[in-house]
A and B are shown apart, each in its own frame.
Chain A
Amino acid sequence: MSEAPAVRLVEVHKAYRRGAQRVPVLAGITFDIAAGEFLALMGPSGSGKSTLLNLIAGIDQADSGDVIVAGENLARLPERLLADWRATHVGFIFQFYNLMPVLTAYENVQLPLLLTDLPRRERRAHVEHALSLVGLADRMSHYPNELSGGQQQRVAIARALITDPPLIVADEPTGDLDRESAADVLHMMQALNRELGKTIIMVTHDQRAADHAHSIMRLDKGVLWSNPDDAAAVQPAGQG
């Protein structure tokens, strides 16, 4: 594996302050995620999975340590540049889809493209393509509240890949879906990983969801435990 890792974490610490008390959440996390990986991040509630994912996605800052994603050390980027970086490098999939309720499926998917200088016609082509990839070409003018949860999450997936980012982060993307819709969404994520080569990091509680990934990492009490069945893509370091 000579290729540079998609994500490299070095001695990442993060704590929250609750009153006068410091609550450590991440205690010196060090590991790499290879490009093209589909990683499931598991662990008990409150173990810091979301926190870790947010650091990698560039919407939160570590207290110390380096978070290097796609060759960029996020700790060193000021917020203004970080926003631009997110727009081009990260696709987001949330548990509750987080679509804009006043925008149609088409407009929701188009949203990230408004930050580019792509002309209208090309935007249209991109959006139509992305929506057909998730099987919603016939739902373009529907508003989120006119779509099922599974369909909304598929719109969100189309939005996540519209700018063709190398990395996709998903925080419990199936947490709010029935089993069938969840399976749809997971198959779609697998396809993104396999066919488009996206690096995907997915936080999940659901073992069945995690089974769709290449590898599973477990986070507990602020430290990482790798899945002994699959150590190829993930190299935890400094774990006792």
Chain B
Amino acid sequence: MVWRNAWRHKLRSALTLLGLVVALLAFGLLLTVVDAWYQGVNASSDKRLVTRHKVSLVFTLPQNYLGKIRAVDGVRLTTYENWFGGIYKEPKNFFPQFAVDARTYLQVYPEFRLTDAERDAFLRDRKGAIVGRRTAENYGLKVGDNITLKGTIFPGEWNFVLRGIYSGGRESTDESLFFFHWEYLDETVRQRYGGRRTAQIGLFVSEVEDADDIARIAQTIDAQFANSHAETRSETEKSFQLGFVAMSEALVAAIRAVSYLVILIILAVMANTMAMTARERRAEYATLRALGFAPPFLAALIFAESLLLALAGGVLAVVLTYPVAAFFGAAVSKFIPHFVVGPQTPLLQMAAALAVGLLAAFIPAWRAARVNIVSGLRAVA
């Protein structure tokens, strides 16, 4: 009966279902966008400590801090990197590039996976570079290719030979990055612009022995450079990444708000459908009451119908989210490297569908349960 009632007005039910699917799909995609945003946070390790200039990421630290950071008790290994910010052929071809101390970097970040041969080739070649699988696919890059980047922070042409294509060791690993040797950057800067901009480091990243000890280590490092001309700020990789995200927190908050707004709108649509339906069936509900059916039975009928519709919409939306996200992800992969539907997304979509189904039925069910039999029966005539 519930099933047949749900399909009584085929067009209305189909439109409501369509609305539900579109809304829940949009909800799922927006959640995926937010997830993509926080991807760096999820990918971070609780054993990594990031040290940067206290004032801003724009300022660099002297390379000779390395020895002092490494010497801090509890630090196992320290590597360093510089943001490069080059352009590959055209400005719209964006992927992040870093000059790194390759040997230590690959130790601190074991999730960037290379074959032994690629790794050796990269380490041996001063002008060698490696790139993530996704970026390689996007631009059709192959091992052995010559790659030229136009520098923005470091003007001029920069030539590299691609020595490896890494793949992510984890689901959350960013596969869009481009790495080359920090020594190459530093030497070239010395040749081109003289000594003033040499031996500068954007970030030091240390791997600590014990994650529980990380706060003390961070304090110890920062204390060493207190009152120097370049004070440092050390924090866990996670909070560093969160700080990055925080810059665009307002944007993420807006996306979140929109995603919930979408649910609110579909709730209103659905509630309207259910209310309309229940109003039309007043005489039927009154008849059922006259025959001896109790109010909770009528309420259950309405809840069941609403839930049937909402959950059907939820299931369809979840099923559609994956192909649509894949399609969407491919289209935006240059800008959002990690556009993958998270494990929580389908759960949240179904939870939203459930909530919509229950809330939409609430008032009609309450009304139906309270319908006055006599006036309900008069509604026919």
Contacts and interface: CB of A to CB of B under 8 A. Distances in A.
Interface of A: 54, 57, 59-60, 80, 83-88, 92, 94-96, 98, 100-103, 107, 111-112, 115, 159
Contacts of A60: 373-374
Contact of B291 (A85, A102, A112): A112
B380 interface: yes
A83 B292 contact: yes
Given A59-B290, A92-B291, A112-B291, A102 B4 contact: yes
A83 to B, nearest CB: 5
Given A60-B374, A98-B283, A98-B284, A83 B380 contact: no
Given A59-B374, A94-B287, A98-B380, A112 B292 contact: yes
B5 interface: yes
Interface in B334-381: 373-374, 377, 380-381
A83 B294 contact: yes
Given A57-B290, A59-B374, A101 B380 contact: no
B1 A100 contact: yes
A98 B287 contact: yes
B244 interface: no
- The secondary structure that dominates the B interface is helix
Contacts of A88: 292
Nearest to A61: B374
Nearest to B375: A60
Q: How large is the interface on B (under 10, 10 to 19, 20 to 34, 35 or more residues)?
A: 10 to 19
Nearest to A143: B4
A173 to B, nearest CB: 14
Interface of B: 1, 4-5, 8, 283-284, 287-294, 373-374, 377, 380-381
A20 to B, nearest CB: 20
Contacts of B373: 54, 59-60
Contacts of A98: 283-284, 287, 377, 380
B78 to A, nearest CB: 72
A161 B129 CA distance: 88
Nearest to A156: B287
A100 B380 CA distance: 13
B6 to A, nearest CB: 9
A92 B374 contact: no
A102 B277 CA distance: 14
A86 B1 contact: no
Nearest to A172: B381
A55 B62 CA distance: 95
A80 B373 CA distance: 13
Q: Which 8 A-B pairs have the closest CB atoms?
A: A87-B292, A102-B4, A59-B373, A98-B287, A86-B292, A96-B380, A60-B374, A83-B292
B335 to A, nearest CB: 50
Contacts of B284: 98, 100-101
Between B8, B290, B293, B380, the greatest number of chain A beta carbons within 10 A of the residue's beta carbon is seen for B290
